[in-house]
Amino acid sequence: MSNTATFTDNRNGKTYEFPIIDGELGPSVVDISNFYTQTGMFTLDKGYTSTAMCKSAITYINGEKGELRHRGYDIAWLAENKVFLDVVHLLLHKKLPSQSELDAFRKKLKTKSFINERMLGLFNAFPDKAHPMAVLQACVATLSAYYSRDMNYDDPHEYMELAERLVAKMPTLAAFYYRHAMGYPLIYPDLDRGFTENFLYMMRSFPHSHVDIRSIEVKALDTVLMLHADHEQNASTTTVRTVASTHSHPYSCISAGIGALWGHAHGGANESVVRQLEAIGSVENVDKYIKKAKDKDDPFRLMGFGHRVYKNYDPRAKVLKGLRDKLVDELDIDSNLIKIANRIEKIALEDEYFVSRNLYPNVDFNSGLILKALNIPTDMFAVMFVIGRAPGWMAQWMELKEQGNMKIVRPRQLYIGPKIGCEENTSKNDIEYSGKQ
Ligand code: CMC
């Protein structure tokens, strides 16, 4: 029979049928929502490598081909032809804006980019060496306190306002963190500047001198932000959706997402890449580090390599490599680090260890080098990822709301602990297990 998958329990010969659902693109899914009620068993999928957690119309990835699309548009085409705010509009409003719509959208976000002055006191509460991701996570959670009353989260107009407000305020929060950490005077958003230029303005400006922002720098940062805008059900987006499923405040969901993104296996990788390239120090040392990366007994990993979904060159990494090479003559990109990065990439693309495991450069491999050339402090690289990803998270949050019938995310487990006080052989299906993961 077509459109169903049959599961047979070989212990008793019983068979069960589950519907197969086709998407528009990509692998079909077997709907196992009723698996437990039918079979009395759970499925086990560590890291959710075979699990689709939702239906979504926002982003499509073909990991084998190295393809990424937002609402149907190819990322390489978007990077070539559009700006970050076009993609923000595409994610939130489901369509690319016309020029006049883009202008109006830019203007609207600018008016939402200020933060309540009472929130400034928050920055004093952090120790001098606080990591910016810790500060940003706290700031976004605090924002939920400012927008928690008199809001109707079921009204699409109100939640769109919430989404746009978050996207608009994120660069201000990031720049305020930096100014405060450095002891510099706060610089408020400049309504005459574009979204990305305004961020560089808030980072670099001083009341006593002219701020120098080159258009090539704006273009580079804008592209980096765009390439991070959404990436389907990655760890942080899944976190946002999971918290949203409990009907928590949307900014509390985003704050949780920032926590998930911070880790070096996810958004913290761009910071780790640059720190690793600096630790390698010279092209002569690359072979030694490649050997470490391949050694099963050494926890060392090549940062900026590998991806759960891409088993081909990450299309975002391709765009960034082109951008990085274009910027070399115009920006102060550390040529020693580029030489090391190029050597690592060349070896990895030919070496059996990396080839057989499909370990290609990912988005973080070059984004850190570009951010460093823009004088963004290294510990703020993941913050730049957050500014880029905020619209994607909010689009995913809104999609969940729109789809309705929100089911709390509540997975189960295979219990492997002691059975003190339990009768022997009470397990429903008498499953044998080794007790090891
Ligand atoms: N260096 C060396 N070996 C690696 C690496 C690496 N960067 N990545 C994976 N492997 C090996 C791993 O040891 C394993 O080998 P074996 O099969 O012999 O045990 C195999 O490749 C599969 O690795 P995995 O950890 O099971 O794969 P995963 O899909 O669970 O993890 C990953 C994906 C991105 C966490 C991982 O590749 C990694 O840690 N990369 C470095 C960190 C990094 O660059 N993260 C940024 C990801 S892209 C930004 C984003 O979207 O968040």
Q: Which of 49, 314, 359 to mutate to test the pocket of ligand 1 (most atoms within 8 A of CB)?
A: 359
* 108, 212: one domain: yes
| Count of structural domains within the chain | 2
Q: Is 389 in the pocket of ligand 1 (CB under 6 A)?
A: no
Q: Is 244 in the pocket of ligand 1 (CB under 6 A)?
A: no
- Looking at 180, 230, 307, 314, which residue is catalytic? 307
CA of 311 from ligand 1 middle (Å) equals: 11
* 126, 33: one domain: no
Domain for residue 102, yes or no?
A: yes
Strand-strand pairing, 73-74 and 4-9: unpaired
* 83, 124: one domain: yes
DSSP state of 115: -
* CATH classification at residue 171: 1.10.580.10
Residues 134, 263 contacting (CB under 8 angstroms): no
Long-range CB contacts (within 8 A, 24+) of 95-103: 95/71
| Spatial CA neighbour of 54 closest among 31, 24, 87 | 31
Domain for residue 69, yes or no?
A: no
Mean pLDDT throughout 308-324? 92
Q: Is 280 in the pocket of ligand 1 (CB under 6 A)?
A: no
* CATH classification at residue 28: 2.20.28.60
Please tell me the predicted confidence (pLDDT) of residue 19. Answer: 97
**pLDDT at residue 426 tops 60:** no
Nearest CA to ligand 1 atom 19: 296
* 270, 308: one domain: yes
Q: Report helix, strand and coil shares of the chain as percent, to nearest 5.
A: 50, 5, 40
Would you give the end-to-end CA distance of the chain in angstroms? 36
> What residue type is assigned to position 176 of the chain?
F
**pLDDT at residue 349 tops 60:** yes
Structure tokens at 257: 């997402």
pTM over 0.85: yes
Long-range CB contacts (within 8 A, 24+) of 36-43: 36/412, 39/7, 39/9, 39/14, 40/428, 40/429, 41/9, 41/429, 42/412, 42/413, 42/414
Please tell me the predicted confidence (pLDDT) of residue 437. Answer: 39
CA 176 to centroid of chain Cα atoms:
22
Q: Is 301 in the pocket of ligand 1 (CB under 6 A)?
A: yes
Please tell me the predicted confidence (pLDDT) of residue 292. Answer: 96
**Mean pLDDT of the residues in the chain:** 93
Domain for residue 310, yes or no?
A: yes
CA of 384 from ligand 1 middle (Å) equals: 22
Mean pLDDT throughout 51-58? 97
Mean pLDDT throughout 79-101? 98
CA 204 – CA 217 distance, rounded (Å): 13
* 164, 237: one domain: yes
Domain for residue 107, yes or no?
A: yes
* 164, 256: one domain: yes
Please tell me the predicted confidence (pLDDT) of residue 332. Answer: 77
**pLDDT at residue 433 tops 70:** no
**pLDDT at residue 408 tops 90:** yes
For residues 329 and 34, the model is more confident at 34
Nearest CA to ligand 1 atom 45: 265
* 22, 144: one domain: no
Please tell me the predicted confidence (pLDDT) of residue 422. Answer: 86
Residues 90, 70 contacting (CB under 8 angstroms): yes
Q: What residue has token string 């949780």?
A: 256
CA 415 – CA 418 distance, rounded (Å): 9
Q: How many other CB atoms are found less than 10 A from the CB of residue 63?
A: 16
* 290, 218: one domain: yes
Q: Which of 357, 364, 385 to mutate to test the pocket of ligand 1 (most atoms within 8 A of CB)?
A: 357
CA of 154 from ligand 1 middle (Å) equals: 39
Please tell me the predicted confidence (pLDDT) of residue 2. Answer: 67
* 224, 356: one domain: yes
* 264, 309: one domain: yes
Q: Is 268 in the pocket of ligand 1 (CB under 6 A)?
A: no
Domain for residue 60, yes or no?
A: no
* 9, 94: one domain: no
Nearest CA to ligand 1 atom 26: 308
Q: Which of 294, 362, 381, 386 to mutate to test the pocket of ligand 1 (most atoms within 8 A of CB)?
A: 362
* 48, 80: one domain: no
210 is catalytic: no
The boundaries of the domain holding residue 33 are 4-52
Please tell me the predicted confidence (pLDDT) of residue 152. Answer: 76
Q: Is 56 in the pocket of ligand 1 (CB under 6 A)?
A: no
Strand-strand pairing, 59-62 and 29-30: unpaired
Model confidence at 334, pLDDT cuts 50, 70, 90, reads confident
Model confidence at 431, pLDDT cuts 50, 70, 90, reads very low
Model confidence at 414, pLDDT cuts 50, 70, 90, reads very high
**pLDDT at residue 434 tops 80:** no
Nearest CA to ligand 1 atom 47: 266
For residues 151 and 60, the model is more confident at 60
Domain for residue 70, yes or no?
A: no
For residues 233 and 406, the model is more confident at 233
Please tell me the predicted confidence (pLDDT) of residue 424. Answer: 57
Domain for residue 413, yes or no?
A: no
Domain for residue 426, yes or no?
A: no
364 is catalytic: yes
Distances (CA, A) of 325 to 322, 332, 434: 5, 12, 52
Model confidence over 250-298: pLDDT tens digits?
999 999 999 999 999 999 899 999 999 999 999 999 999 999 999 999 9
Query: Which residues have CB under 8 Å from 381's CB, separation 6+?
Result: 270, 271, 274, 367, 368, 371
Residues 260, 425 contacting (CB under 8 angstroms): no
Please tell me the predicted confidence (pLDDT) of residue 20. Answer: 97
191-227 in b/e form (b: 16+ CB < 10 A) is eebbbbbbbbbbbbbeeeeeeebeeebbbbbbbbbbb
